[in-house]
A and B are shown apart, each in its own frame.
Chain A
Amino acid sequence: MNVILYLLGASLILGGGGLAVFLWSLRSGQYDDMEGAANRILFDDEER
């Protein structure tokens, strides 16, 4: 049953990684303007 240790480790690291990425994206304000994000994709960026 040693395989269970690898499984536990792997699932926790992957899950924890996903959680960390989500918290980062939340903190960097990526969910602040969902409606704008949905529309922005339809328009090309203006290069400065």
Chain B
Amino acid sequence: MNLFKFSPSPCGRGLGGGGVATSAAPSPQPPPARGGGESFAPLSPAENTCVHCDQAAPPGRRFCCPGCAAAYETVQSLGLGRYYTQRILDPTLRALRPDPPERRDLSRFITTHADGAHELTLAIDGLQCGACVWLIESVLAREPDLLVGRVNMTTRRLRLHWYGSAERATALVDAIERLGYRLMPFDAAALAAARDSTDRALIRALAVAGFAAGNVMLLSIGIWAGEAGGLLHDMGPATRDLLHWVSALIAMPAIAYAGRPFFASAAAALRQMRTNMDVPISLGVILVTGMSLVQTMQGGPHTYFDSAVTLLFFLLIGRVLDHRARGQARATAEQLLTLRASDVAVLQSDGSIERRGQHAVAPGDRVLVGLGERIGVDGVVERGASLLDASLVTGESLPVAAAPGTQVFAGTLNLGETLVVRATATGNGTLLAECARLIEAAEARRSRFVVLADRVARRYAPAVHVTALSTFLWWYFAAGVPASEALLTACAVLIITCPCALALAVPVVQVIATGRLFRAGVLLKSPTALERLADVDTVVFDKTGTLTEPTMALVKGPDFDQFALRIAASLAAGSRHPLARSLLAASGPVAVADDVVEYPGQGIQAGDIRLGSWAFCGRAPSPQPPPAGGGGESKLLPLPLREGVGGKGPVLWLTRPDAPPVRFDFAETLRPDAVPTLERLRRLGLAVRLLSGDHAAAVAPVAAALGIASWPAERTPVQKVAAVEALVASGRKVLMVGDGLNDSPSLAAASVSASPASAADISQTVADLVFQGNLLAPVAAVIETARRARAVMRQNLALSIGYNVLMVPLAAAGFVTPWLAAAAMSSSSVLVMANSFRLRGWPA
């Protein structure tokens, strides 16, 4: 099962250069060019792509950037060129474009063994296919003194094991990062804590139960065939007793071993004076085994060893599947957390720089924040002037200028020059941590969701016990049979009622549905999310980055100047400013202009050509008057729709010595399928709302275009939480879809939550599901799948309960012999599994 076909790709919003690489590629849905543009044949990306990373490259060049050229050179010089012919690239993953080298302190992630060997485990971002695994391992194989360099493709981790100095780690990691992969170290302690022993214990139990079930069933069939009334009826009592004894010898240790997960859980529940599904299971298995042992010793005709072991075998299948589904969720969350953790460069009093973990920075420390780095602390800018992308923190889509004295928050991305920030709050004191606390509080307030299977088990367990007990009492007192015979009949009831199919009913569906969603690009992080999604009746959307695309798009008017765009793009190619990236996305690949100088917060200059705000470009002689309210630094959020040509959106100007200035308008665009998706949601009977932190003027057109009547705007994170909680309190089941840090508390407050993969890391961590790609359709698809899954779960539960209703009277009346019990039990489990597999056949 290819569960990790796509990476959660938390680098989507510009954690380092990965974001640039992705957004610099031509947008799949560029704003429609009306007129003008047709005279110029735009370069399709297929015509010239980089040999190494397969992204668009400037015409006539083999590589898109020097990093890729160097990576290609390295691969060829090592004789690994086969990689390029054998790989299969997944366009949804991070492109294989190397980031500029970054100095990192890996020492606190390295564990050193007693024999002097060092070990380091890293998460790999950008792993595309088997060829990537081969390439990484082959490159590492060239390194001397490296003992193990092995990629785990399922968990997307690289384990390094080497002798020599611990500092070798940097060289090893660099060798792989130069190829274009991004590596993030795992904390050794966290890794040890997360190492999953339960999964293996369950599989061992499953293996033992399977072995015992097969062998005991083999013997049991012999007994059934040979007993009086069987096919052969020529088996003597001595042979039968022998076979019973061998069965007991196999079954008893197997049950003692394989039953432990159930016994332990049942004991824990009983200690807390509760019952769960494991109580009737344990009771049934133990009683049946004990009863059969007594029968064997007395030389009786009927034993139920086969039923007891087969029962455990089926139950363990359900348990393993269930655990896998949960484990997947946990592994994903771990990966996200690791990719988020980054170091902070602290400026020492002697001018040297020390890299520390975020928690080791104290208020008052001076922190250095380079280009493309995220600020790790809350603080005040002390030196430097730059542009900051605070979209993760405030939801504001345009960068803000920072100068000495500006208050900055952890999680903000530096788009310009290096800043020195004096920390005012660190670690748990930051706004980021404050949001994390809001999330925790919201999660604590949210009532715990009880999964369907548990709700059924709560009523089912007592009913089973009462039935078995009354069967025994009736036979013993009313019918007057001996106690052992009455007990045997009660055991038959317990076997029939053992919730074997019931225990499979939900996990099988869950695993199949989760797998389907994975292939559709939706990562389900919470195992209960599927059931909660099926209940949803209201969908609340955030605007910026959720209903609209995460980046602003260039608006091309009727007299759009394609040539000017190419010039502007060649200036913008080196910038991380979001508007510059949008220019690049609109123009397609261009060669970078020479001698480009970027003035953070103002614009870009190359010789006489300037690109930037009017104030910046206006210095060049110009016949046009400055437009009112224009300028790249405008914070007004603009015309949200494509129709907004000539409006008040953010603007860039291009001035050249020999041509009139050209104006580029930018606007937020709706995700390409936002309208049909909302239509689809409404057809599913869902109420759709919009909840935005943005200005009403910016929200209104979006709401109008999508036909949303309820669209509160200018909401703070606290107000958003309150609004979502009010909806939940009024009895609605709310699906919250949002991407910003400011949405994360309300994501936690909603009944179930979703984030696009471009969302802030913390939102992705909080959200129950993360959807990949440029489209909104997965939100509707996931609800449809969840509803179908719930329908199948209910069918399964009905099937297994119906089977009980049918069989229990027979068992209580004493008609059920061991072979009938075995056949009925297995067939109900198989029926439930077969029904679940119907989910796979449904069209997506």
Contacts and interface: CB of A to CB of B under 8 A. Distances in A.
Given A1-B239, A4-B239, A26-B200, A36 B133 contact: yes
B134 A40 contact: yes
B137 A15 contact: no
Given A4-B239, A11-B218, A33-B155, A26 B204 contact: yes
Contacts of A48: 141
A31 B203 contact: yes
B215 interface: yes
Interface string A2-38: 0010001001100110110011001100011111101
A1 B215 CA distance: 19
A38 B218 CA distance: 34
A35 B4 CA distance: 9
Contacts of A1: 239
Contacts of A23: 204, 207
Contact of A12 (B2, B130, B215): B215
Contacts of A22: 207
A35 B218 contact: no
A5 to B, nearest CB: 8
B215 A11 contact: yes
Given A19-B208, A22-B207, A26-B204, A35 B154 contact: yes
B155 A42 contact: no
Given A43-B131, A43-B134, A46-B137, A32 B152 contact: yes
Given A39-B130, A40-B134, A16 B211 contact: yes
Contacts of A32: 152, 154
A42 B138 CA distance: 14
Contacts of A33: 152-155
B153 A39 contact: yes
B151 interface: yes
Contacts of B131: 43
**Which secondary structure characterizes the binding site on chain A?**
helix
A27 to B, nearest CB: 8
B153 A26 contact: no
B664 to A, nearest CB: 45
B809 interface: no
Given A34-B154, A36-B153, A19 B137 contact: no
Contacts of B2: 35
Contacts of B407: none
A19 B313 CA distance: 14
A36 B134 CA distance: 10
B250 interface: yes
Contacts of B215: 11-12, 15
B138 A8 contact: no
Nearest to B130: A39
Contacts, number: 63
Contacts of A16: 211
A42 to B, nearest CB: 6
Interface in B146-169: 151-155
A19 B211 CA distance: 7
Contacts of B239: 1, 4
Contacts of A39: 129-130, 133, 153
Nearest to B155: A33
Contact of A42 (B4, B130, B204): B130
Interface string B225-244: 00000000000000100100
A10 B207 CA distance: 19
B555 to A, nearest CB: 44
Interface residues of B, number: 30
A15 B137 CA distance: 37
Contacts of A35: 2, 4, 153-154
A15 B204 CA distance: 15
Interface in B186-241: 200, 203-204, 207-208, 211, 214-215, 218-219, 239
Contacts of A38: 130
Given A36-B151, A40-B130, A8 B246 contact: yes
A4 B138 CA distance: 55
A2 B369 CA distance: 83
A31 B152 CA distance: 11
A46 B137 CA distance: 8
B710 interface: no
Contacts of A34: 154
A42 B130 CA distance: 8
Residue from A23, A26, A32, A35 having most chain B Cβ neighbours under 10 A: A35
A22 to B, nearest CB: 5
B274 to A, nearest CB: 33
A3 to B, nearest CB: 11
A48 B242 CA distance: 58
A40 to B, nearest CB: 7
A26 B210 CA distance: 15
A15 B214 contact: yes
B86 interface: yes
A43 B86 contact: yes
A7 B635 CA distance: 84
A33 B158 CA distance: 12
Given A33-B155, A39-B129, A46 B203 contact: no
B343 to A, nearest CB: 29
Interface in B582-607: none
Interface string B522-550: 00000000000000000000000000000
B150 to A, nearest CB: 9
Interface in B113-146: 129-131, 133-134, 137-138, 141
A15 B211 contact: yes
Contacts of A43: 86, 130-131, 133-134
Contacts of A19: 207-208, 211
Contacts of A8: 219, 246
B7 to A, nearest CB: 13
A31 B320 CA distance: 14
B152 A26 contact: no
Given A19-B211, A35-B153, A46 B218 contact: no
Nearest to B152: A33
Nearest to A27: B200
Interface string B68-103: 000000000000000000100000000000000000
A26 B211 contact: no
A39 B153 CA distance: 9
Given A38-B130, A40-B130, A43-B131, 5 more contacts: A15-B211, A19-B207, A36-B152, A36-B153, A43-B86
What are the 7 A-B residue pairs with the smallest beta carbon separation, nearest first?
Answer: A39-B130, A36-B153, A43-B134, A46-B138, A19-B211, A33-B152, A35-B153
24 contacts: A8-B246, A11-B215, A15-B211, A15-B214, A19-B211, A22-B207, A26-B200, A26-B207, A27-B200, A31-B203, A32-B152, A33-B153, A33-B154, A34-B154, A35-B4, A35-B154, A36-B153, A39-B129, A40-B130, A40-B134, A43-B86, A43-B130, A43-B133, A48-B141
